[in-house]
Structure 1
Amino acid sequence: MQVEGLSINLATIREQCGFAEAVDVCLKHGITAIAPWRDQVAAIGLGEAVRIVRANGLKLTGLCRGGFFPAADAAGREKALDDNRRAIDEAAALGADCLVLVVGGLPDGSRDIDRARRMVEEGIDAVLPHARATGVPLAIEPLHPMYAADRACVNTLGQALDICDAVGPGVGVAIDVYHVWWDPDLANQIARAGRMKAILAHHICDWLVPTRDMLTDRGMMGDGVIDLKGIRRHVEAAGFFGAQEVEIFSAENWWKRPAEEVIATCVERFRTCC
C-alpha cells in the first residue's frame, strides 16, 4: 500500500544503503517519494540514478545540497558558484522539486557574520538565472544557530525569507523542524512564507533531550520535544500540502539499525506522530 504524504531523505539510511538499495527499501514500504544527496547520486552515476527514478515513477521532494557560498577570496566564491550550477543541473536531470541550499558559514579566518550573510545573498543571486533557466527552484534551508559558524549563517526562517524577498522569484525555503522549532516567531514566519508562496519543502525528525552530538544525533519522530503536529498545522495553513520529508542523522542509533526497520519505523511514526 502506497504511503501518501511521506518522503524519505536518503540520509536517513545512508550508512546502510546506496542509492539503488535505498530506493528498493522505500518502495517495499510503499514510499514513492525520496530526497537523495548528491554524493549518493554520484556514487551510482547521475545517468543510472535518473533511470531508477524514471523506471519507478519516483517523486523527488528535493536534492541535497547546494550552497556553501561564503569563501575567503574571489576564487573560492567562484568555485562555489560553479558547484551550485552543477547541482542545479543534477536537480533538473532528476526532476527534483527543488535544490536544497545549506548556505555556508564564516569563511576561514573571518569573524564577520554580516559579510558572510551578504555573500550568501550575492551567491544565490548569481546562480539564480541558471536555476530559473532550468526550472529548478532553490530552497534556502535555515539551520539552527549552533551551525552559524561552519554550516549556515542563515539561522531563522525570517532571515531566509528576507533573502527570498531580496533576490526575487525562483527562491523559497525548506522548513526543517529540527532547525526552526525553537523560534518564537516561527508561526508568523511560516504564515509569511505562505503569503509569499515560498514553502518548497517540509523536513521532519525530532530533537532529543539530551542531544549528544549536534550533527548526528537527531531523533525519530515522537522521541523528542518538537511539536510536529503543531508545525504541520501551520505549514498546511500556509498552503503547503507537499510530502513531509524524514531526514535523520543518527550515528549511534538509527544508522546502526537495519534499513528495513528504520523505514518501517518512519512510516509508523509518520502515521501516529506527525
Structure 2
Amino acid sequence: MLVDSHCHLDRLKLDKLEDPTLDCVVREAQEAGVNHMLCVGIDMGNAASVKSIADRYDNVYASVGVHPMDVSERISAEQLIDCADHKKVVAIGETGLDYFYTKDTAEVQHESLVMHLEVARSLELPVIIHTRDAKEDTLAILDQHVCRRSVGVLHCFTEDLDMAMRAIDLGFYISFSGIVTFKNAAQLQEVAREIPLDRMLVETDSPYLTPVPFRGKPNFPKHTADVARFISEMRGISFDALAEQTTDNFFTLFPRARALT
C-alpha cells in the first residue's frame, strides 16, 4: 500500500483519460497500490474544491493554505482557521517560500509562512512546506516558529542533503516527487539515498512532474508507485518495504488521516 502524500486532484487533466472522471483516477491509483491521497490546497479559491473532493472519497484527505506564489491573496489567521474547520482537513498548507519564481514578494511570503505556522500550531496540525531557492530563510523561520508536536513535511523536495538533514533535525519529513527520477537529479537522488527511511514520504504533485518513464505525459496519483519503485531500487531495498514505511510515516505525520481510515 502507498500514499500519494501530495497531489492536486482538482487540477488533473481528466480529458486525457479514456474515462475522463475523477472516479477513474482514484480507481487507477488503487489498482496501482496507491490506496490513499492527500489533495492539497493552494489558495482560498480552491479550498472548497479540495474539501469537496475529500468528502467524495473515503481514501482522500485535504489540506488548506495559500501557496507562496499566491501570497497576493492576503488572508488572516482567522480566515485560515475557519477554512480548516472540516473533518477531512488533515494539514495546513501548502505554504512556504519560493525565491525561484517570486523573490520580489519575499517579505509577504515570510509573513504568510509565519501565519500558517502559527495557525498549524494552534490547531495542532502538521504543515506542508513548499521551498525553492530559499534554504536559509526557510530553515530559520521553521526553527523559530514550528510546533514540535505537529511539525510537517518539505514537499516535492529539490534542495541538498544538508537542508534535508537540518529539516529532519527540526522534526520534518522529506517528500520526493517524480523529479527524483530525472536524469539531471543527481543531488536529489543523493538525498533520497541518504535520509532516514522513517522520515521519507512519496508523492506525485500531480498533475505536474510526471516521473520517468512517463515524463512529458500528464501525471496522476497512480504514478506514486513509479516514484517509490525508483527510490527502492536506488536504496537497494524492496518496493514493499519502502511502501510500508512511507505509508506508516504518512499516518504518523497526519494523525487525523489515520483516525479517518
The answer to whether 1:135 aligns with 2:115 is no
Residue 203 of structure 2 is matched in structure 1 by 245
Q: 1:247 to 1:50 in 2, by over 3 A?
A: closer
**Cα pair 1:88 1:136 within 8 Å, conserved:** no
Alpha-carbon RMSD across the aligned residues, in angstroms, is 4.1
Q: 1:101 to 1:167 in 2, by over 3 A?
A: same
| 1:27-176 mapped onto 2 (5 Å cutoff) | 27-38=30-41, 42-43=48-49, 46=51, 48-53=52-57, 56-58=58-60, 60=61, 63=63, 65-68=65-68, 79-82=73-76, 85-86=79-80, 89-90=83-84, 93-103=87-97, 113=104, 116-143=105-132, 155-169=133-147, 172-176=152-156
Residues paired across the two proteins, number: 216
> How far did 1:244 drift?
0.7
Residue 209 of structure 1 is matched in structure 2 by none
**Cα pair 1:176 1:204 within 8 Å, conserved:** yes
Counterpart AA for 2:178 = C
Partners of 1:272 and 1:85 lie apart in 2 by: 40
- Tell me the alpha carbon deviations over residues 219-258 of structure 1, each in whole angstroms, 9 at most, x when there is no partner: xx53432245532233326x514x3112252699312xxx
Secondary structure, counterpart of 1:32 in structure 2: strand
Partners of 2:97 and 2:37 lie apart in 1 by: 22
Task: Report the structure, 1 or 2, having the larger helix content.
Answer: 2
> How far did 1:80 drift?
1.6
Partners of 1:267 and 1:13 lie apart in 2 by: 20
Counterpart AA for 2:162 = N
Q: 1:69 to 1:167 in 2, by over 3 A?
A: farther
Residue 170 of structure 2 is matched in structure 1 by 196
> How far did 1:98 drift?
4.5
The answer to whether 1:235 aligns with 2:195 is yes
Partners of 2:89 and 2:165 lie apart in 1 by: 28
Counterpart AA for 1:190 = A
Partners of 1:92 and 1:136 lie apart in 2 by: 12
**Cα pair 2:92 2:126 within 8 Å, conserved:** yes
> How far did 1:120 drift?
2.4
Counterpart AA for 2:204 = V
**Cα pair 2:64 2:93 within 8 Å, conserved:** yes
> How far did 1:266 drift?
4.5
Counterpart AA for 1:162 = A
Secondary structure, counterpart of 1:142 in structure 2: strand
Q: 1:40 to 1:23 in 2, by over 3 A?
A: farther
- Tell me the alpha carbon deviations over residues 188-245 of structure 1, each in whole angstroms, 9 at most, x when there is no partner: 221111111123x503112xxxxxxxxxxxxxx53432245532233326x514x311
Q: 1:232 to 1:129 in 2, by over 3 A?
A: same
Counterpart AA for 2:172 = A
**Cα pair 1:19 1:40 within 8 Å, conserved:** no
Sequence identity percentage: 10
Residue 15 of structure 1 is matched in structure 2 by 13
Q: 1:195 to 1:19 in 2, by over 3 A?
A: same
- Tell me the alpha carbon deviations over residues 157-176 of structure 1, each in whole angstroms, 9 at most, x when there is no partner: 33211111233426655142
- Tell me the alpha carbon deviations over residues 41-84 of structure 1, each in whole angstroms, 9 at most, x when there is no partner: 644x73x434334xx344x4x7375233887xxxx6xx522499
